[in-house]
Amino acid sequence: MLDIVSKSLTIPSLTHTKEREPPMTAIEITEKIQGGVLKAVETSQAWTLGALRSTSTAFDAIKLDASAIPFSDKVPSATETLDVTFSFWGKLLDAQRSFLTGVADVYATATATATATATAAKVTNVTTAKKV
């Protein structure tokens, strides 16, 4: 099943230009879409940060005094929390990638073995003529 989408799979270009561009592979299309998604996310994040920066001073008058909260000196900063959290998620993502690479390797090995077995079976199943 994984061999259906491969680097060699080509999909015709949907652009209507006078000069025909070579068809894009499935990987190239995927990378192009991923790049567009990342750019949209980054743009949205930049707009959000800009809005937060421009409105943050409006809330200065209602900020809580952290010293009034018990144990507030024991709570990690937002930056420390983000560092620990993203470090964990990075490790988890690495573990998932390693696991799925193993799954893909098992599938590729199983497919190669099945193909070799089927080929060998075709070669050894030569029928002989029966005597009447």
Mean pLDDT, 10 residues at a time, the chain of 132 residues: 50 58 92 98 97 87 81 90 97 98 91 77 60 62
Q: Is the pTM of this model over 0.75?
A: no
Query: Which residues lie across from 11 on neighbouring strands?
Result: 24
Spatial distance between the Cα atoms of 3 and 16, rounded to a whole number of angstroms: 30
CB-CB contact of 28 with 13 (8 Å) = no
Contact 5, 27 (CB under 8 A): no
**Distance (Å, whole) CA 70 – CA 48:** 32
Q: φ, ψ for residue 2 (rounded to 5)?
A: -65, -20
Report the distance separating Cα 96 and Cα 115, nearest Å. 28
User: What does the pLDDT read at residue 1?
Assistant: 43
